[in-house]
Amino acid sequence: TAEATYQIAEIYHSFAIDLLQSQRPRGLNEEELEEYELLLEEQAYPFEEKAIDIHLTNFKRIPKGAYNQSVKNSLKVLGDLMPFRYAKVEVADAYVELP
């Protein structure tokens, strides 16, 4: 279901966030800390990508007529993770109604 899909995607997303926000070891100098953070980003990236792929499963349900709260939630997360692609605002030209 769309809800299960959303929840699974959020598990992956949460894991990526938790990795990035994890406590850093004490005693690292600036260079070591930077390297450690790069390694964490490399470890978190596949989980974030998996979350995006799973949220896209919900996005693909829209043309089939499935547009519920879980699909909306997936779209919001996609907009947060990939704003250049999914957080677009539609702009409509004004129109004139004919009598």
87, two tokens: 């957080």
Residue 97 within a domain: no
What is each CA distance from 71 to 50, 61, 75, in whole angstroms?
17, 8, 6
**Predicted pLDDT of residue 87:** 80
Residue 73 within a domain: yes
Is the separation of the CB atoms in 50 and 12 below 8 Å? yes
Alpha-carbon gap, residue 71 to 49, rounded angstroms = 18
Is the separation of the CB atoms in 4 and 61 below 8 Å? no
Residue span of the structural domain in which 61 resides? 2-84
**Predicted pLDDT of residue 88:** 75
**Predicted pLDDT of residue 90:** 67
Q: pTM for the whole thing?
A: 0.82
Q: How many domains does the chain have?
A: 1
Alpha-carbon gap, residue 9 to 69, rounded angstroms = 15
Low-confidence ranges of the chain (pLDDT < 70): 90-96, 99
**Predicted pLDDT of residue 94:** 66
